[in-house]
Amino acid sequence: MLLLKSIFHVTTFSCIAIGNLRLFSFTTATNGFSSTNPFTIIKSQKHILFHYLKNRTLDQARVFFDQIPSPHVSLYTIMLHAYAHNHRLREAIHLFRQIPFKDVVSWNSMIKGCLHCGDIITARKLFDEMPHRTVVSWTTLVDGLLRLGVVEEAEALFWAMDPVDRDVAAWNAMIHGYCGNGRVDDALRLFRLMPSKDVISWSCMISGLDHNGESEQALVVFRDMVASGVCPSSVGLVCGLSAAAKILAFHVGIQIHCSAFKLGDWRFDEFVSASLVTFYSCCKQMEAACWVFGEAVCKNVVVWTALLTGCGFNDKHLEALEVFREMMRIGVIPNESSFTSALNSCCGLEDLERGKVIHAEVVKMGLESGGYVGGSLVVMYSKCGYVSEAVSVFKGINEKSVVSWNTVIVGCAQHGCGMWVLALFNQMLRQRVDPDGITLTGLLSACSRSGMLQKARCIFRYFGQERSVTLTVEHYASMVDVLGRSGELEEAEALVMSMPMKANSMVWLALLSACTKHSNLAVAERAANRIFEMEPDCSAAYVLMSNLFASSSRWAEVALIRKKMKRNGVVKQPGSSWLTLKGQKHKFLSADRSHPLTEKIYQKLEWLGMKLKESGYVPDQQFALHDVETEQKEEILSYHSERLAIAFGLLSTVEGSTITVMKNLRVCGDCHTAIKLMANIVHREIVVRDSSRFHHFKNGICSCGDYW
């Protein structure tokens, strides 16, 4: 109390200390009487109030405010804003009613606070009660209504304004609101009606078009702005570069870069520099992007993140992680986008160790619970073969959006964790998060990889009746895959024929793949013919038909297919497997002898082969799809790329640790049987991600339950 009294009743120069805050007030004396400068007192009170709001709690700030005799209206306004910002609208309104002499700023602040809290009715009521409205009052209400999506009421208010008072800021607010609600045509119409436009008007229109997928039109408006003699601001340059990046308008982007150079030194503007880096990165001009980055004088986190993201976008993941490391080294604190881009590059390299290091930095900064970074961590762990860690991270995300749920559902589906996926979907529905098309794809994928045919039928039927989700050709392909893997080939073919849209090659390939699994030549030939009608050079269809004939020892048909492939220039993708150790990828082809450790790898394979025979393993020669002798078939199977990768992993990793191998094609049945036994022999978990799913081999069994 003594401190407060000294503020309001000082008669000499005094210094008041509150915490680390030091405030000064001055007094003057006239004819023996002392009087305090009122403007200085109000300024001091504002400083203290802001100090409480910034460094302490809102309730503590209110205690201080209540001790001020006859607070100035500006102090009331500060408190109103604070209450509204913290969504304590009832207390804000109660305090507002206590203001003895309300000025237009306090009215506007209260209206804005109501709109911030979503209370349109109270905002409109206060607006109607205002004794005197300014253009700011009108614009505040119009802008707030547009932000809440009440476009028609905002339109009515805008046109109800006195034309004299309808300044350029009001027009800009309306254009911005139209664009924010996806009504680009209305925004363009209003833009053309504007009696006068400032640079904000142009920038707002360009940005609105770009954000609504009209990037080409945005560049037309940018060109018109320059032609009309308006010098683009840094915001306008950023919007123009963003539009050019999205549609890869390289030459237009270079012209905008030249404009930035002519208008001033762009190197000092972080956002223009970042936009230029992004533009050149999107246009696959990484040398130019790096040059811009090097020329930029002010490199904040936005500029660093632009280069980091650009490297990842151009599949330069090692360079991206080096950028991230350098960024951390010099003390630039990463933001959520920085971490997301770095984690995406870890996914691109399948480098779990680096991903874990970045995860540790995320935890230090307290960003793990955010949906943006949390989702990237879920993807990273899922793609690197650690689904349990992915689910654990997901559980720690505070606000789970549909994107968060889809990320973990798709991740679990890739690992064949069908029951986990269904449990997550039930939780999603209980939390009233509306599923979308990606959710359905993840659910059907999980059912397909887990053999849950009846569940898939129920889910497909449920979403078919759900009006919020439209079934696409991808969904039908997923359902065909479920039916086909379960052996219901006739039902799968009937579903394809009854689709409301024309089936593409992806749908027929799903059916053809199932036919190969179940050796149904009749349906396979019909599916293959449909594929060749649409894509005569579809290598996947040729390979599947060749494998189907080879598994039945119909070598004449195999020879015909291979001859046709050669004549048409169709090349089969060679099978390859790889694993990443200490940031380096080690890749193997079938019977590969190019690796520096080849001799040791083959010695390890011979030892494994001996142990496999002791365990009762007999090679399944139907998976050696070549017309050769039995001994050669066994040798071909023994040196498949995934086996070479596993042997290398056993040589290069700590005993007892998990080995994670990636493969570009589906693992064959014989290798699947062999790897189950290998995992048991070496007492390790072996994770193999093929083109279909993740397989977790441990203690002689696979997580897929021999269903893939």
Residue 586 carries which side chain, given as an amino acid letter?
Answer: H
Whether 184 is covered by a domain: the verdict is no
CA–CA separation, 466 and 460 (whole Å): 10
What pLDDT shows up at residue 361?
96
At residue 136, the pLDDT reads 94
pLDDT given at position 465: 86
Is the domain of 581 the same as that of 697?
yes
> Is 692 found in the same domain as 582?
yes
Q: Rounded to an integer, what is the distance from CA 569 to the centroid of its chain?
A: 38
pTM to 2 decimals?
0.82
In a domain, 688, yes or no: yes
Q: Which two tokens mark 587?
A: 């890749």
Query: Residue 125 has what pLDDT?
Result: 96
Residue 344 falls within a domain, yes or no? no
| Angle made by CA atoms 450, 529, 708, in degrees to the nearest 5 | 15
Same structural domain, 560 and 584: no
Same domain, 676 and 613: yes
CATH code at 516? 1.25.40
In a domain, 129, yes or no: no
Q: Are residues 531 and 512 in the same domain?
A: yes
- Same domain flag for 697 and 590: yes
Walking along the chain (708 residues) 10 residues at a time, the average pLDDT comes out as: 37 37 38 57 89 90 93 95 95 96 96 96 96 94 96 95 91 96 96 95 97 96 94 94 96 93 81 96 97 93 97 96 96 96 95 95 95 96 94 96 97 94 96 95 94 95 86 96 94 96 94 91 94 92 88 85 88 88 90 94 94 88 49 66 95 94 89 93 94 91 82
Tell me phi and psi for residue 253, to 5 degrees.
-60, -40
Residues spanned by the domain of 533: 492-568
Of 520, 537, 568, the position where a domain reaches its end is 568
Q: Is residue 618 part of a domain?
A: yes
The answer to whether residues 668 and 614 belong to one domain is: yes
Residues 435 and 532 in one domain: no
Residues in Cβ contact with 38 at an 8 Å cutoff, skipping those fewer than 6 apart: none
pLDDT score recorded for residue 3: 37
Is 580 among the domain residues?
Answer: yes
| Structure tokens belonging to residue 614 | 């002791």
498 and 528 in a single domain? The answer is yes
User: What secondary structure letter does DSSP report for 51?
Assistant: H
Q: Helices 371-383 and 387-395 sit at what angle, rounded to 10 degrees?
A: 170
- 673 is a domain residue: yes
Per-residue model confidence (pLDDT) at position 628: 37
For residues 418 and 513, membership in a common domain is answered with: no
The domain total for the chain is: 3
Angle at 498 between CA 497 and CA 504, to 5 degrees: 55
Same domain? For 437 and 502 the reply is no
**340 CB-near residues (< 8 Å, 6+ apart):** 372, 373, 376
In a domain, 370, yes or no: no
Q: Which of 542, 568, 594 is the last residue of a domain?
A: 568
Do 533 and 583 reside in the same domain of the chain?
no
